[in-house]
Structure 1
């Protein structure tokens, strides 16, 4: 349960993020944040975690995504920290939120995991849920279109053993992204609620791919 002061900070942060991301790419805009925030609150209901940290991290996790800031992976933690310090949030909470933003992404999973917390696992699951299922499909093709990538090219096979740099710099067709990331997420979920929700969304993607290949003529 949030205190009155914490609830006010969450509301101010919500308005800040909504304003900052209102013109962002559709897969990483305010509505993505809104869905992740709701997912995180839903998962947290069955987990013993710091709700304040969970909600702040969910709201701020893409406030300055490196993909849209010249690959600067410290942009997000930096912007989030400045915002929270302006609200006089406790420094330990700020550092926790920054660590979550810094380490929760799929690409951060390449190599050794140097930070984790129960709160991060919840927000990570919430974010991963928005990357799969019907919404995940829509987001994948939205970002692919934003980057000028083809839907599919049968001659370009998925790279299932990418390094972090290869993942960050990939220009592969959007369908490849299903095999390089999206279909892997179900087995990477952390929480019981996350795993349950991911199962249905995973099956939806499998059905989509089956229909896609049928219509393609394969």
Structure 2
């Protein structure tokens, strides 16, 4: 089985897992992250296959999305073996995705991990990032905003995370891509507060 066939099977696997997600961590999020990862990996001379595979799979086992994270990861490993990935490839994918999460506060150890983290963070800012913020907030019964109780609102998430992401990019390609999206975030937030 060649790498293109394997990536198509990974995409279908991810579709089955995330097609009905309403928190902004759906199949289309994975697809955008995979596309951006592929683009960044070409510019940064990284392992394109590991980058793209890890991008598709980066949210498998996330505690926000899976009740049993260990089971989800075990099932993913079995799936990857079934499509003839080697133990080394599976290990590299795990290395690339283990530190992607913003909440962990870790910097990935591999270039491929840094690229996946950059692409995931790029999808959290800009117009789509804003839409995803409110989708996640609504799915988790979070207020949009509150004059007196700012914690745990979707707008507070801009300050807690989104506005910090531009400064946390690793690769020159992602740094360039983040600038425009960051400006959009700032403009949106100002407009929101003006209207509020």
Bucket of the pairwise TM-score, normalised by the shorter protein: over 0.9
Is 2:83 the counterpart of 1:87?
Answer: yes
Aligned residues: 196
Q: Matched residues in 2 for 1:77 and 1:203: separation?
A: 36
> Within 5 A, what are the aligned runs for 1:73-152?
74=70, 77-109=73-105, 116-152=109-145
> Within 5 A, what are the aligned runs for 1:35-50?
35-50=32-47
Instruction: From 2, 17, 21, give the equivalent of 2:18.
Output: 21
What is the Cα deviation at residue 73 of structure 1? Answer: 5.1
TM-score, normalised to structure 2, is 0.93
Root-mean-square deviation (CA), in Å? Answer: 1.7
Q: Matched residues in 1 for 2:9 and 2:65: separation?
A: 24
Identify unmatched segments of 5+ residues in structure 2: none
TM-score, normalised to structure 1, is 0.84
What is the Cα deviation at residue 206 of structure 1? Answer: 0.3
What is the Cα deviation at residue 88 of structure 1? Answer: 2.2
Find the residue that maps to 1:9 and give its secondary structure. Answer: helix
What is the Cα deviation at residue 119 of structure 1? Answer: 0.3
What is the Cα deviation at residue 214 of structure 1? Answer: 0.5
Is 2:15 the counterpart of 1:12?
Answer: no
What is the Cα deviation at residue 103 of structure 1? Answer: 1.3
The one-character-per-residue Cα deviations of 1:67-110 (angstroms, maximum 9, x if unpaired) are 0223x554554333221112121101101212222211101216
